[in-house]
Structure 1
Amino acid sequence: MSTYRSEHPAVRGGDAGTLVVVAKAPVPGRVKTRLTPHFTPQQAAALARAALQDTLDAVLATPAGRRVLYLDGAPGRWLPEGVEVVPQCAGGLDVRLAAAFTLYEGPALLIGMDTPQVTPALLAQGLDFAGTDSWFGPALDGGFWALGLAEPDPALLLGVPMSVPHTGAVQRQRLTASGLAVRDLPALCDVDTPDDASLVAGSAPGTRFAALYAELRAAVR
């Protein structure tokens, strides 16, 4: 059953590791603002909700010790059972991502809510640390959609410049400079812009996101 935790001391994530989804609650005007004016704020929020639900579906279908939604905002009816909710801390994105790796001991894979095309197979790969210390999932915009650490260390993220074209390169370099063995997951497109939304919807036709995108585009033709 879904639970909301207001305090989050580090606990063991289980032998299969912890999957953490970093997300904003899909509230109009607070999420996916770069999708406007192609979409209204309400439509942009609905697309964000669909992307988050698709992501959580993939998470629930992936073997993991814990499944956590690290949330900025309040959970709603879109939250499925089987996912723990932990409120995000204050601070810049690097601080908040670093804090996510303090929630649980043991291996963890951190992903965003902006890749509804993600699959359980990809997530399971990112939780398999046999032969590697870390997994890095590059995003097509120069950022990253996934970061997995066999032994989470918040210092690996603190100070990394976020939301710039070289974020991913700096983050990956931080991993290798620390002496970690790094393996790469496939590059995925984050949904940030209308072009991104079109590309992702086309690449994942069976998702909620793709269905809603097609419905919204058909309504304006």
Structure 2
Amino acid sequence: MPAGRRLLVLDGEPGDWLPAGWQVVGQTGGGLDVRLADAFAHAARLAPGAPALLVGMDTPQLRAATLAEPLSAARRTGVDAWYGPAADGGFWALGLARPSERLARRLLLGLPMSTAGTGAALLERLTAAGLAVHHLPVLTDVDTVPDAHRVAARAPGSRFAARLRSFDLAPEVAG
């Protein structure tokens, strides 16, 4: 998908799995709310004034086409934020048209994470901040083995599905 900059906020070192063209910055410590806010702060410092979209790594069924149209220059007019709800009540994506450290902290710090109400609470904060929000499609994030099977069934030709099948075919380990 076309992007001015690709930034990976990572706890650890990237491996040979990282495609060319990605800049890597270290993930800060703290709770998920702090780490997400800091990721937006990194993006704002590295590309001031440019939109930023934060996508979780637990939605392997996501395709570039899902994001290309709603994030295209033609569709960005009048949009302040993008919100991708997760099926479990969380969210898989958050984008800000004009990210700043201050805005990210206001939206994310203290947000209850990993609950069935996380996404709704974030959406309330986006609305309370007066942001025009574009809703992305609902996706299932992979938090459990049943989630993994649901996602693999929706993207059977993906590397994720192939890897999951390799685990499913592995003999059980005797304990």
Per the TM superposition, whether the score is higher than 0.5 is: yes
Aligned ranges for residues 1-221 of structure 1 at < 5 Å?
A: 62-103=1-42, 104=44, 105=48, 106-128=50-72, 129-152=76-99, 153-154=103-104, 155-220=106-171
Deviation at 1:127, TM superposition (A): 2.7
State, as a whole percentage, how many aligned pairs show the same letter.
60
Q: Deviations over 1:96-146 (max 9, x none)?
A: 101111123221111000011101112224534223111100001111000
Deviation at 1:211, TM superposition (A): 0.8
The 8 Å contact of residues 108 and 149 in structure 1, kept in 2 or not, is answered as yes
Q: Distance in 1 between matches of 2:67 and 2:10?
A: 19
Deviation at 1:158, TM superposition (A): 1.4
Secondary structure of residue in 2 paired with 1:102: helix
Q: Distance in 2 between matches of 1:211 and 1:130?
A: 39
- Give the TM-score taking structure 2 as reference length: 0.86
- Any runs of at least 4 consecutive aligned residues in structure 1 with deviations exceeding 3 A, and if so which? none
Q: Please list every run of 5 or more consecutive structure 1 residues that lacks an aligned counterpart in the other structure.
A: 1-61
Q: Distance in 2 between matches of 1:80 and 1:151?
A: 26
The 8 Å contact of residues 109 and 148 in structure 1, kept in 2 or not, is answered as yes
Q: Please list every run of 5 or more consecutive structure 2 residues that lacks an aligned counterpart in the other structure.
A: none
Q: Distance in 1 between matches of 2:51 and 2:63?
A: 19
The 8 Å contact of residues 143 and 163 in structure 1, kept in 2 or not, is answered as yes
Q: Distance in 1 between matches of 2:39 and 2:156?
A: 31
**Cα RMSD over matched residues?**
1.4
